[in-house]
Structure 1
Amino acid sequence: MSQFSVPCVVYRGGTSRGLFFNESDLPKESTCREKIFLDGIDAYNLSQVNGLGSGTSHTSKVVVIGPPSVEGADVDYTFYQIGIGEKVVDAKGTCGNLMAAVGAYAVDEGFVSSDTVEESMIVYAFNTNIQKMIRLIVPTVDGKAKVSGTYQMAGLQLPGAKYAVDILSPGGGKLGSTFPLGPKFELSLKEKQIPVSVVDIVNPFVYLSAESLGLSESDLFTDLSSDEALLNQLESIRCEMSVHMGLTNSIEEAAAAPAIPKIAIVSEPIDYITTSGTAIKKEEVDIVAKMVSMGRFHRTFAGSGLYNLAAAALLPGTIPNRCTNRELVDDKSIVRIGHPDGIAEVRVGLTKNQRDVDYVGLDRTARRVMKGELYIPHE
């Protein structure tokens, strides 16, 4: 045979889509696994026309789910960001949107079940990328993950069933602390001082203000995807900060690991029009932002980034905190993030001293798209 096959399920979770595999269906040898991921998505072509990706960072993803390794978990799972036009299989970060789909997969594939008819199931999933527990409330019908519902989330035209996703004690998963360089760091870049904040919540993020880049708030909601000079500047900052925070040892190593840290531009609330044509008033949001993922501006905002930014907006001294006038109420709050295609509301609970994060949470929708055999060419 010219090809071999592997059982595979395609899920959408939030505004991301990925290939889901049962750990037991994959070969143990890492090179063989990576070939399945690369060929399945088609990392080799920018269009990803020869696989199931679609040429965007939020659809070039893989999740592997297996039995739990820690007490209290129902499943373990590992997320992989796959390259677009390059052979990259990166497990350093994670995906906040596909967390909802992890819950759906765990229910649909029988990792968790119930003898009674319930409207929802609680799934505890241990994410090996960030070594954190994820609590998922999965709506169910007839023992399977529910799809249809009335919850409307930004970035999708049709509503769906609401999944509650909470990441417990999310800080420091990759770097050991929420602020590995303090709330604010002065980066020297080409004889210019640029203030940045590095926040390690779910994924490490580097935040800059629009003003520090010579952008106005309204510039954030123009098409910046063709601004190669800006993209190159942001990539330079991303690589420099990767070394400063100890994530990589050199600029070259950072450039070869594009998944994390991620980088985002933030500003104070403004009136703007989303990419879908919806008018957003500044009174409806607490902060506005645009992020880069895998070298391209994200069309919405990554789920991991929403968790991170919402917490950063409430933590004193950070650049996001200086762009919002929100105050925490009773150690808990909802932060409204304005992104290019709408508003995301994120639950944030801080520790009692209000210097770190107890949990972050989002409501998402999820859907199984297909299940079958994924065909992979032999060498």
Structure 2
Amino acid sequence: MNDQIAIPCVVMRGGTSRGPFFLARDLPTDPRARDAVLLSVMGGGHDLGIDGIGGGNAVINKVAIIGPGSVPGADVDYLFAQVRVREGIVDTSPNCGNMLAAVGPFAIEAGLVTAAAERTHVRIHNVNTGKLIDATVATPRGQVTYEGEARIDGVPGTAAPIELSFPNAAGARTGRLLPTGRTVDRIDGIDVTCIDAAMPVMLVRAADLGCSAREAPSDFTDSRFRARLENLRIEAGRLMGFPNPAAMVIPKPVLIAPVSEGTLNVRYFMPHDCHSALAVTGAVAIATACVTPGTLAADMVGSLAPPVPITLAHPSGQLVVRLEPGPVARVQRTARRIFEGHVFARRAHLPQSVLAA
């Protein structure tokens, strides 16, 4: 018997993230069996994912699982999984807006969506949150192209633009824009804003933790700072209604500070390591906080209301979220197809339910 199982796989970059894309039909339907497969192919149990295709950073330990749309109006389903290779955990509680940028191109090339002559609109059902997101993909002559003049900070070179539109993003996981019912909560002597729009986040003034929100990601190595931020995050998660936030990657903690050019300086954590750029879903949440009176972000930036661009400075540059009445949040990203073939799961890693299938 072959001691490995071959699974069709496409590796794609979506925005500033990268990871394997699978068709749902090629993975087990049982969540425990599916997660065992994902841990095997990503290299769970090692900081660097050395025995798989994962890596030493959360932005390349991401998985997208795509299938036909299962709700009215959706072209495709998109289930996102954050694989925590170090701990051997697969977390499907959040969405990922960067990986989302590659869902449209993948779905078209997989035959799940028929390409239009110039631009193809793909309505994506994010299974994690139940939300619908619209993606507009360049398809000249009815084919996906990855070449173009769009540039996003955190990715070298240029590529074809992909516009993501998040209508009614509030309450993605909790059902409420302000899950605690307050614009500001005080935890261990620190003011925080808990907000849920595309992604549940906890906003903290950087200065209150002795930071500037202009640090490089590698600067956040102090164990006392990391422990304090994690304690704040866990308590914020409890206030937001999550039963065991210590075992989840949400809410995401975000440091915010004033900026001379733009709207805010931000440092976004995933949740323990600082992002080298910025999560799209996190950016939508931060931008929404900027136009929600009474939040820490709104108090910092002053009176803003849609339609308005929110420019967020991150370690690799800037990300702009265009807020429009509706409410709708629009973000431009790019993507690229990198590899296609088969990835191998080790039979020794999988439960009997998978092996018997």
SS at match of 1:323: helix
TM-score of the aligned structures, taking structure 2 as reference length? 0.93
CA–CA separation in structure 1 for the residues paired with 2:134 and 2:346:
37
Aligned-pair CA distance for 1:47: 1.0
Match of 2:198 among 188, 198, 202: 202
* 1:262 aligns with one of 245, 252, 255: 252
Unaligned runs of 5+ in 2: 349-357
Q: How does 1:353-368 map to 2 (within 5 A)?
A: 358-368=327-337
The equivalent position to 1:337 in structure 2, one of 298, 307, 312, is 312
Q: What amino acid does structure 2 have at the position aligned with 1:254? A: P
Task: Quote the offset at 1:207 in angstroms.
Answer: 0.3
Q: Does 1:214 align with 2:210?
A: yes
User: Offset of 1:229 from its aligned partner?
Assistant: 1.1
Q: Structure 2: which amino acid aligns with 1:198? A: C
**C-alpha deviation, 1:143, in angstroms:** 3.0
Paired position in structure 1 for 2:172: 173
Aligned mates of 1:142, 1:10 — CA distance in 2:
24
**Partner residue of 1:244 out of 239, 246, 251:** 239
Contact 1:200–1:308 (8 Å) recurs in 2? yes
Distance 1:231 1:24 in 2: 40
Q: Match for residue 159 of structure 1?
A: 158
Inter-partner Cα distance in structure 2 for 1:348 and 1:57 = 27
Structure 1, residues 112-136: CA drift from partner, whole Å, max 9, x if none?
Answer: 114x6x1210000110111110100
What pairs up with 1:65-214 in 2 under 5 angstroms? 65-114=66-115, 118-189=117-188, 193-214=189-210
**Share of identical aligned residues, percent?**
31
State the distance in 1 between where 2:57 and 2:128 align.
21
- 1:315 corresponds to: 292
- How many Å separate the matches in 1 of 2:241 and 2:302? 31
Contact 2:80 2:95 in 1 (8 A): yes
How many angstroms apart in 1 are the aligned matches of 2:209 and 2:132?
Answer: 36
Matched pairs, number: 347
Unpaired stretches in structure 1, ≥5 consecutive residues: 270-281, 352-357
Q: C-alpha offsets along residues 316-340 of structure 1, whole Å, 9 cap, x if unaligned?
A: 1111112213622xx3111111111
The C-alpha deviation readout for 1:226-252, integer Å capped at 9, x for no partner, is: 12211111100000111111112xxxx
Query: Residue type matched to 2:51 in 1?
Result: N
Q: CA RMSD in A?
A: 1.6
CA deviation profile, 1:18-44 (whole Å, cap 9, x unmatched) = 111111111223332112211111121
Output the CA distance in 2 between the equivalents of 1:41 and 1:50: 7
Closer, same or farther: CA 293–140 of 1 in aligned 2, 3 Å: same
Contact 1:122 1:135 (8 Å CA) reproduced:
yes
Per-residue CA distance 1:16-74 (angstroms, 9 max, x = gap): 01111111111223332112211111121111122111211111111111111111110
